[in-house]
Amino acid sequence: MTDASLIEVALEDAREKMRRALEHAKGEFASIRTGRAAPALVEKLKVDYFGAEVPLQQLAGVTVAEARVLVLHPYDKGSMKAIEKAIQLSDLGINPSNDGSVIRLVFPQLTEERRKELVKVTKQRAEDGRIAVRAVRRATRHELEQLEHAGEISSDDLEWAEKELEKLTHELVVELDGLLAHKEQELLEV
């Protein structure tokens, strides 16, 4: 392999890993409740179903009936109690109502205090995302330095690759900050 192709492989690998960290942060943001009901709030919720931890989306269909109401349609009526228990134990802070065939989740209006708490949670998740991106940068930089020490790339190539890596890191952190700003605005909107 040539110097350039070794560097490109390392940078492409870093780009892919950083993108995955960003996608994970997006998923985390989606699971944080705003004033509206969204299926993402409950889909990943773990339900103890016959002794196994199963994501809710595998046990029930989730639809948005109204702006603040989610309706869960369990595929197996026998799972209703387990789903209700998982919702009650979650940090959603709502009580499910069961009519025998569906489970309704009515989300109350968010108080100003709760909105501010959720903004703090969102900021922490964004920081976790930044940390993950920087960890990828650190690992890739270490990998590139090892290539230079092994004589597979020159010090000029290493310097260029580190600048490209820094630029990539900056782009993804800026994108993450944009997502954070959007989510904060969404949370604070009354």
Statement to judge: residues 27 and 116 lie in one domain: yes
Instruction: Tell which of 64, 82, 106 closes a domain.
Output: 106
Q: What is the pLDDT of residue 18?
A: 95
Q: How do residues 143-175 score in pLDDT, each as one tens digit?
A: 999 999 998 888 899 999 999 999 999 999 999
Total domains present in the chain: 2
8 A C-beta contact, residue 131 and residue 125: no
Rounded Cα distance, 74 and 101, in Å: 8
Statement to judge: residues 7 and 47 lie in one domain: no
Rounded Cα distance, 39 and 92, in Å: 13
- Give the CATH number, domain containing residue 101: 3.30.1360.40
Residues in Cβ contact with 1 at an 8 Å cutoff, skipping those fewer than 6 apart: 9, 152
The overall average pLDDT reported for the chain is 89
pLDDT exceeds 70 at position 2:
no
* H helix or E strand, kind and range, residue 106: strand 103-106
Residue-range definition of the domain harbouring residue 45: 39-106
Rounded Cα distance, 147 and 11, in Å: 13
Statement to judge: residues 101 and 116 lie in one domain: no
Instruction: Tell which of 67, 87, 106 closes a domain.
Output: 106
Q: How do residues 42-81 score in pLDDT, each as one tens digit?
A: 888 899 988 889 998 899 999 888 888 889 999 988 888 9
Rounded Cα distance, 52 and 20, in Å: 27
Q: How do residues 86-96 score in pLDDT, each as one tens digit?
A: 988 887 778 89
Statement to judge: residues 90 and 135 lie in one domain: no
Rounded Cα distance, 127 and 119, in Å: 12
